[in-house]
Amino acid sequence: MLKLDRLVNVLGGYGTRLVCAPASRDVPLRSVVVHDPADPRPATGDVFLAVGVGSAPEAVRLGAAARAAAVLVRDSDSGSDGGDGDDAAAEGRAAGVAVLLVDPAVSWSQLLGIVYGLVLEGRETEAGRGPTDLFAFADTLAGELGYPVTVEDQMSRVLAYSGSQQTADPVRLETILGRRVPEEMRGLLEGKGVFSHLAASDEPLFVEPSPEHGLRGRMVVAVRAGRELLGSIWVECQRPLAGRQRDRLADGARAVALHLLRSRVSADLERQVESDLVIQLVEGTTDAPALISRLGLPGGQFRVIALQAHVGAERHAAVLTAFERATTGFGWSRPGRSALFGNTLYTVLPCGNDAAPARDWVRAIVSVLPRGVIVPAGVGGPAEPAQLPASRQEADESLALRAAVPAGPVVYDESWDEILLQRLRAAASSGRTPARGPVADLTRHDTEHGTRYVETLRAWLEAQGDLAAVATRLGVHPNTVRYRLRKMAAVTSLELDRPEKRLAMIIGLALHQG
């Protein structure tokens, strides 16, 4: 819960100063109200923003009438210690209200973003991410402009980017994968005077293409709060934006400033709450139905999807990107809920016996990742909320089957035989491999004498004793198979007529093959 002391400390970084605090600075702040002279209805709230009020004392009186604990009023002379400050402080002490004078360089819209980020988004929400989702904004802006959009901070680190990367140039792909602009490209842009322009001007700038460096044209505009440069918006385009597109880009810079201000003062609690709840579900909890409800998911059955993403030797940047995309948007607009645990993205998806929604979800994530990213995925079997830990184990096992060479998600229902053999291999290898027995004896004989007895045994078991099928598979005459079986029986005790012995040999051969 936000306290007055936290509000004062954060706003102090933007030139706002506390001139009066009659009560304790531990006062909790739970709501925000903005002065609206056109609305005759009385408004109440813990933080009162005196927008459009010309007199500081009048602003404090209005705040007191709204039962506010703190009033924010424009400082007409932020460099003085008297004037508005003295009058507002006197009125505040009389009314028992804390008074903060706002730097004129910070607009009310930006200040509103900061205060809402602190007061409102400091509370838990349960339905996924909220309206401060910068990825959703990047997608919207890209749709309006018709070009890919990237949002970066003042250090050229990627904060968000728009959807599909299929037409992106090499610089954009490398920037997204590395989560920041490559140093060589930063040097090129600095040489072109781009960063000097961003530091001094709010006007959009067109950066000429540089094909030899893999750079198409770019339109860039600074994102600023008051006098401080927060970051920039980059639009990949072949020619300068003009008219309505240019105006929309400038409007976008102001909107992104609000996003960045709010993200500064919020630890992204919505994503954190979602992750914590999902991890509890897949690890096991007695309160699973309640957690499903808190996540805003419908009742019924679910599947757990385990997904990894990497490119080359880099095992972390790509999966972080996948996590950001999986948690982009309002909770009710996303089919599943996700958490990043180690280097694996887990998603709980409403999905019954039909695994098609899980396949669609994986395809949707892959489609928004840059080219070249390898995305192995495993899909667990359908489960009630209390059974989600079992579905998570099945997803992990499915993921492990072909993690090195993924060819679409591995679905547990369709690969149960491979997973069962994998489990048997793991169980059999948990102790020492038997030094005796048919598989061990025949392996040793093959190694010492160059025979093919293990291969023959495997073929006989898989063909269920059909000599013609075994001979065809091995490329020999059936009599050769009979001869080998007699020689193998002299080397070890086969007992092929006993079902339990045949099953044990199948498991032993599976372990041998693994």
Which pLDDT score, from 0 to 100, does residue 486 have? 93
Which pLDDT score, from 0 to 100, does residue 313 have? 56
Model-level pTM? Answer: 0.48
Each residue's pLDDT tens digit, 98-109:
999 988 888 887
List C-alpha distances in Å: 1 to 4, 124, 266, 291, 436.
10, 10, 12, 22, 67
pLDDT-wise least confident of 242-256, 268-282, 321-335: 321-335
Query: Which has more pLDDT, 48 or 333?
Result: 48
pLDDT-wise least confident of 94-103, 156-165, 294-303, 451-460: 156-165
Residue 320 clears pLDDT 80, i.e. is over it: no
Query: Which has more pLDDT, 163 or 266?
Result: 163
Average pLDDT over residues 70-93: 74
Which pLDDT score, from 0 to 100, does residue 79 have? 46
488: nearest Cα among 441, 447, 448 = 441
Residue 301 clears pLDDT 90, i.e. is over it: yes
366: nearest Cα among 94, 164, 176 = 164
Q: CA-CA distance, 122 to 129, in Å (whole number)?
A: 13
Query: Which has more pLDDT, 179 or 490?
Result: 490
Radius of gyration from C-alpha coordinates of the chain: 32
> Mean pLDDT across the chain, nearest whole number?
83
Sign of CA dihedral 127, 132, 134, 140: positive
Which pLDDT score, from 0 to 100, does residue 125 have? 34
Query: What percentage of the chain carries pLDDT values higher than 90?
Result: 32
Which pLDDT score, from 0 to 100, does residue 148 have? 92
Most confident of 133-142, 302-311, 381-390, 491-500: 381-390
Residue 126 clears pLDDT 50, i.e. is over it: no
Each residue's pLDDT tens digit, 412-449:
888 888 888 778 777 766 665 666 788 889 999 999 99
Q: CA-CA distance, 16 to 37, in Å (whole number)?
A: 24
Residue 199 clears pLDDT 80, i.e. is over it: yes
Tokens of 295: 């996540």
Residue 39 clears pLDDT 60, i.e. is over it: yes
Q: CA-CA distance, 39 to 503, in Å (whole number)?
A: 81
Average pLDDT over residues 268-278: 78
Which pLDDT score, from 0 to 100, does residue 510 have? 77
Each residue's pLDDT tens digit, 204-239:
999 999 989 888 899 999 998 767 788 999 999 989
φ, ψ of residue 453 in degrees (nearest 5): -75, -40
3-state secondary structure 403-420: CCCCCCCEEHHHCHHHHH
Residue 265 clears pLDDT 60, i.e. is over it: no
Coil, strand or helix at 340: strand
Q: CA-CA distance, 392 to 305, in Å (whole number)?
A: 7
Give every CB contact of residue 407 below 8 A, 6+ residues apart in sequence.
Answer: none
pLDDT-wise least confident of 21-35, 67-81, 150-164, 398-412: 67-81
Q: CA-CA distance, 406 to 401, in Å (whole number)?
A: 9
Q: CA-CA distance, 276 to 295, in Å (whole number)?
A: 10
Tokens of 6: 């936290």
Pairing mode, strands 344-350 and 149-153: unpaired
Average pLDDT over residues 86-94: 86
| DSSP category for residue 67 | T
Each residue's pLDDT tens digit, 339-382:
988 789 999 999 988 899 999 999 988 887 777 788 899 999 99
Each residue's pLDDT tens digit, 454-480:
999 999 999 999 999 999 999 999 999
- CB contact at 8 A, 126 and 113: no
Average pLDDT over residues 310-327: 72
